[in-house]
Amino acid sequence: MGCKVWTASLALAFGLSQATVNFPFPQMSNYGGNATLLSDKVAASEQLKKQFLYWKQAMYNESGDIAGIRSDPGSDAYFSEGVGYGMLLMVYFSDNTTSYQAEFDKIWNFYKKFQNENGLMIWKIGNLSESWDAGNGAALDGDIDAAAALVMAYYQFGDEKYKEDAKKLIQAMKKSEFESNGLHMPGDKWGDAAFNRKNPGYFDPAYMPLFAAIDEENAEFWSKTAYDANMKLYESSSDEVKTGLVDDWTDKNGKSEDDYYSYDASRAPWRNAKAVCWHGDQRALAIDKKMAEFVSTVNASSMSGPVLRSSGSLGNDHNSTFVTSLMTALISDSKYQAKLDEYWKEAVALGDENYFNQSLKLLNGLLVSGNMPNLMNASSNPNPESSSSVNPESSSSSPAGIVDNRVAAAPRISLQGRTLQVHFDGSARVDVFNVTGNAVKTLWNDRVAGSKTLDLQGIPAGVYVIRAQTKNATVMQKISLQ
């Protein structure tokens, strides 16, 4: 057993098998150690892909160059929130065999077709062709996810148009869906009610650094003003009750409207946990830890909503909205590892569900399995033509199995048993692929100072390809694991 030189024929076969995406599913990142994730990421990734294919078959509906996400299987009602979910899922489930860029583009075309005068999508549409909302108003939850999905699409698919569209949408949100003090408004046509009625689950702290990087002239607004104002809202709502759960709706100070953690609030744990995973956000982590204390006392098979926040009394809806949204709080501490695994097992057992439950299962599952990394920080070069490529002229004379050795200071790989050593100084990304080109696992995505030891335990015996990437070089090497 050990490393062998990767022949030109295998290199060429692998190169031809790759779809043109930069971060193929499954990524199985560890988010730099910021969170506790599922014990078996490989199994979870397989389960997620199966669930996604059901979701796509049942919810995705296209007509010509537009596509909507049905509000339920067979329904001809479409919500802007579904557009945001759909765009995110098409980005993160694209793999080395299938790129969902075409589907992403059609969903984004749907958003653009139904933009109002503020540049924001009308919140409810019927029959892919008509508005059902007489006021033609937008809803922030759909807009904010769509904007983030555009940012991620730029890094996943490498087309500059996504970055340009993201900036326009981010600026439109700032103009019509945020107050000057940074507090969000539920939509763009709420009138005076928008200044006092808030929906914490509509705001996403994980997106603020992304928006600041794309909308540079308003960077301070996103990274400081909006972030701080809305995190205070989250904190105030969470601090009201011993369960730590946020309310569906609050006033401008975070005071509870009805004391229920229900379907609106169910996006909040995912949004906060995402900020922990992506940025190591300590304020979001504190909220997660408080929620986790409550969640850890409830068996996954019993978790049901809506939840009365003050007492923790459970409702009658046992579905993936409540099981997986509250599951994400458990990423906050390694002592909840078994409970986290229990909650995901229960979600999988729930099987195929309606649009909202299934969508949240996929989004929450992607996060806790390491399959929803912040692509902005995952690579310094978003252009596919500049990413990993295979040189078919390489031969067995290539040193140490390096396929593309045209750039100096390339990383070096060595294998001993099931321990991989990567030798390099600087930022590097190391992925494992099977010989057909499908991603198996991301082993590392951070800085290497001289050398880094990576564990290959848990990967089944067989032949694999290790790809080590830096800003200026790519090394691809075949290994055999027994």
243-247, 291-295, 423-427: which has the minimum mean pLDDT?
423-427
Q: Which of 62-71, 156-165, 179-188, 444-453 has the lowest mean pLDDT?
A: 444-453
Residue 457 has pLDDT above 90, yes or no: no
407 vs 45, residue with greater confidence: 45
Band of the pLDDT at 402, cuts 50, 70, 90?
Answer: very low
What is the structure's pLDDT at 409? 58
pLDDT for 111 equals 98
Each residue's pLDDT tens digit, 337-367: 999 999 999 999 999 999 999 999 999 999 9
Given a contact cutoff of 8 angstroms between Cβ atoms, the answer to whether 261 and 246 are in contact is: yes
For residues 424 and 409, what is the distance between their CA atoms, to the nearest angstrom? 8
Contact 28, 433 (CB under 8 A): no
pLDDT surpassing 60 at residue 172 = yes
Residue 240 · residue 254 · CB < 8 Å: yes
- Domain 3-17+388-481: give its CATH code: 2.60.40.3080
Res. 228: pLDDT tops 90:
yes
Cα distance between residue 360 and residue 92, in whole Å:
14
Confidence of residue 379 (pLDDT cuts 50, 70, 90): very low
Instruction: State the Cα–Cα distance between residues 143 and 120, nearest whole angstrom.
Output: 7
Domain definitions of the chain by residue range: 3-17+388-481, 34-378
> What does the pLDDT look like over 174-211, one tens digit per residue?
999 999 999 999 999 999 999 999 999 999 999 999 99
- Rounded to 10 degrees, the C-alpha dihedral 181/182/187/191 comes to 0
Better-predicted residue by pLDDT, 444 or 109: 109
Q: How confident is the model at residue 448 (pLDDT cuts 50, 70, 90)?
A: confident
Residue 306 pLDDT > 60? yes
pLDDT for res 360 = 98
* pLDDT for the residue 283: 97
Residue 426 has pLDDT above 50, yes or no: yes
Predicted confidence band of residue 131 (pLDDT cuts 50, 70, 90): confident
Contacts of 77 (CB under 8 A, 6+ apart): 70, 71, 124, 125, 126, 132
pLDDT band at residue 315 using 50, 70 and 90 as cut-offs: very high
- Residue-level pLDDT at 5: 35
Architecture category of domain 34-378 in CATH: Alpha/alpha barrel (1.50)
Read off the pTM. 0.79
Query: Do the domains 3-17+388-481 and 34-378 sit in the same CATH topology, yes or no?
Result: no
